Amino acid sequence: MNVLLDNADVYWRAILGTVGLFVVSAIGSLILGTLIAGLRVSPVPVLRSFGSLYVTLLRNTPLTLVLFFFAFAYPRLELVEFSFFTLACIGLALYTAAFVCEIVRSGINTVPVGQAEAARALGFTFTQTLGQIVLPQAVRAVVPPMTNIQIALLKNTTIASGFAVFQLGSVYSVLSERGYNVMIGLLWIAAIFVVLVVPLTLLQRRLDAKWGVAR
């Protein structure tokens, strides 16, 4: 307990950094992943190919390499300058979006084809059909796997230590410098992650209960 209490300021800053990375990256991954899923089911071959290429490339590339690119290679390109926090969020969002895309696409495939055909018969465009008819039904089917992906994203924020973004993955180095027991400190980090995951789990159960009845 002394490790936690004596370094409460360090843990608090780390929690804020982790939550900030998670919230921004989660929102980005959900938006981008849904857009890529739309491309994957698009009637336009070029868009489908682009969506497939994106998913194949990002899903089969280790997250560490993606983050290392934005941490060390991107700044050398001398393009738009971003902070390390922003680059970490971009890397996490791009990587996670590939998995979000496949989850959303699987949800889209659970919607009966007749729904889309009826929408087209009423004069709906592809975008209108997807956004107003298909996606609202697909979302109900993907809550559990989507929650699991976001929990994985929360834990993946620890890899952002290479960006000089202070978060829970960076605490051990501070504890080591101060002469505290690093093993005990890491156990507290594990406990904090459990606490952070609980709200996501409760949200999943609530949505499952609500939309399960609706289905």
Picking from 134, 96, 99, the residue whose alpha carbon sits closest to that of residue 113 is: 134
**What confidence tier does 213 reach under pLDDT thresholds 50, 70, 90?**
very low
Q: What Å distances lie between residue 23 and 8, 93, 149, CA to CA? A: 22, 10, 13
Structure tokens at 18: 């982790």
Let me know how long the chain is. Answer: 215
Higher-pLDDT residue of 130, 89:
89
pLDDT surpassing 80 at residue 167: no
**What confidence tier does 84 reach under pLDDT thresholds 50, 70, 90?**
confident
Picking from 63, 62, 21, 3, the residue whose alpha carbon sits closest to that of residue 168 is: 21
- For the stretch 114-160, pLDDT in tens is 777 777 787 777 778 887 778 888 888 888 888 889 988 988 888 87
Dihedral of CA atoms 195, 200, 204, 210 in degrees, nearest 10, equals 100
The model's pTM is 0.84
Q: Rounded to whole angstroms, how far apart are CA atoms 67 and 88?
A: 7
pLDDT surpassing 60 at residue 212: no
Amino acid found at 70: F
Higher-pLDDT residue of 166, 41:
41
Q: What is the residue-wise DSSP string for 26-60?
A: HHHHHHHHHHHHHHHT-SSHHHHHHHHHHHHHHHT
